[in-house]
Amino acid sequence: MAEVPSSRIITIGGYDHINSVVLGGKNPVALQTMWKDSLSASDITGSSGSAALERIEGLAGLGCRLLRFAVPDLDAADVLGELAAKTAMPLVADIHFDYKIALRCLDYPIAKIRINPGNIGKKERVIMVLEKAAARRVPIRIGVNAGSLPADLRKKVEAGAITRAEALVTAAERELEIFDEMNFRDVLVSMKASSIRDTLVANRLLASRTDVPLHIGVTEAGPLIPGVVRNAVAMHTLLAEGIGATIRVSLSDTMEQEIIAGREILNAAADTEGGETVNLGVTIVSCPRCGRNSFDTHGFTEKWQNYLYSLDKNITVAIMGCVVNGPGESRHADIGITGAGNKVLIFRRGEVIRTIDASEADDAFREELQKLL
């Protein structure tokens, strides 16, 4: 397999109040997700506005570094622009069909624009967007989707003249030519398909031909379990080959689940390579539970998961159902909790430090956790 050249480095955000995210080269792979609902003016004012900002903060706490929004019209561009003025999270405007929406977004502190070459229209329009983005130093992602290929490429795929992966790469390269002509360097590419194979072939091919950083992921990947499996297989394969500067795990589930899935994929990829796990905070180990359990590991894990993942601390937390495999199997855990008959034990590195009733489990766990933070 041809060696993948190191990708160029691109900085997103980093001006005014907006966090900076550096992508490409040897920089950490950045996690992102996409807002799942339409955004209206009422969503960013009053208590709704606070709720939206709180949710964005929660996503940042989980490890989200970029947050994308669909921008279907000019009103949505204005709403997103106002939201961008209120948060440190770099916001990405996702634009299909109408270049004027991209131009409007660039009037605001939007950190990145995503355009779809399959439907953004004529070259002159793309050039207008590039000129304004260059003036404002806003990077652009060329986001090619197998489901919305340019018409001529779609027909070639249907006729069997080229593969879907070749069509994805050709669509991206056509657009990249315009960027090169304009000497617009702050560009990323994504080529997404619901097929793992097409995703792999397309990304490998483009990565062997360009130093443009790639945003990788499998699109329309399905609900939580199939979606995580498909994305994990594709991302792990590509990341192991040095391909991928940023990832999004597309799921028919919440944004929080997408981020948690993404960080677990990154940690697993690092673990497989024999390296250090990525500095992404808490690692949760929890038992699947069986007939020996005397502690509701599922309920406890669900209740604590998002809080634990939001902690900026590299620790391992074990949540176990019984003493058979509790402190012993989780000896490496910085803190753990397990059932033990009609009691609950809290342990640290295999040593039991508290024995409590189940009704006290949350409070005692919180107290002991605080001592590690």
Length of the chain in terms of residues written: 373
Question: DSSP code of 42?
Answer: G
Q: Which of residues 40-79 bind ligand SF4 (CB under 6 A)?
A: none
Q: Is residue 325 at the binding interface for ligand SF4, with CB under 6 A as the rule?
A: yes
Among 46, 274, 275, 288, binds ligand SF4 (CB under 6 A): 288
Q: Is residue 300 at the binding interface for ligand SF4, with CB under 6 A as the rule?
A: no
What string of DSSP letters covers 89-109? Answer: SPEEEEE-S-HHHHHHHTTTT
In angstroms, the CA 239 to CA 204 distance is: 11
Q: How far is CA 112 from CA 8, 10, 80, 167, 259, in A?
A: 16, 11, 12, 25, 19
Q: Is residue 132 at the binding interface for ligand SF4, with CB under 6 A as the rule?
A: no
Q: Is residue 322 at the binding interface for ligand SF4, with CB under 6 A as the rule?
A: yes
Is the CA virtual torsion 237, 242, 248, 253 positive or negative?
positive
Among 293, 301, 306, 310, binds ligand SF4 (CB under 6 A): 293
User: Cβ of residue 261: shortest distance to ligand SF4, in angstroms?
Assistant: 23
98 φ/ψ angles, rounded to the nearest 5 degrees: -115, 110
Q: Which secondary structure element, helix H or strand E, spans residue 178, and what is its range?
A: helix 164-181
Size of the site for ligand SF4 (CB under 6 A): 12
Q: Is residue 292 at the binding interface for ligand SF4, with CB under 6 A as the rule?
A: yes
Residue whose CB is less far from ligand SF4, 103 or 287: 287
In angstroms, the CA 199 to CA 18 distance is: 31
Residue whose CB is less far from ligand SF4, 237 or 305: 305
Q: Is 172 helix (H, G, I), strand (E, B) or coil?
A: helix
Q: Is residue 287 at the binding interface for ligand SF4, with CB under 6 A as the rule?
A: yes
In angstroms, the CA 39 to CA 83 distance is: 10
Q: Is residue 321 at the binding interface for ligand SF4, with CB under 6 A as the rule?
A: yes
Q: Is residue 301 at the binding interface for ligand SF4, with CB under 6 A as the rule?
A: no
Q: In this chain, which stretch among 136-144, 193-201, 256-264, 290-298 interacts with ligand SF4, using CB under 6 A?
A: 290-298
Q: Is 64 annotated as a binding residue?
A: no
Q: Is residue 289 at the binding interface for ligand SF4, with CB under 6 A as the rule?
A: yes
Instruction: Give the rounded distance of the alpha carbon of 6 from its chain centre.
Output: 21
Q: In this chain, which stretch among 139-147, 200-208, 281-289, 304-312 interacts with ligand SF4, using CB under 6 A?
A: 281-289
Q: How far is CA 162 from CA 118, 159, 165, in A?
A: 17, 8, 8
Q: Is 105 annotated as a binding residue?
A: no
Q: Which residue is nearest to ligand SF4 (CB)?
A: 321
What token pair was written down for 32? 């992102």
What is the gyration radius of the CA atoms in the chain, in angstroms? Answer: 23
User: Cβ of residue 305: shortest distance to ligand SF4, in angstroms?
Assistant: 17
Residues that bind ligand SF4 (CB under 6 A): 287-290, 292-293, 320-322, 324-326
- Annotated binding-site positions for [4Fe-4S] cluster: 287, 290, 322, 329
- Annotated binding-site positions: 287, 290, 322, 329
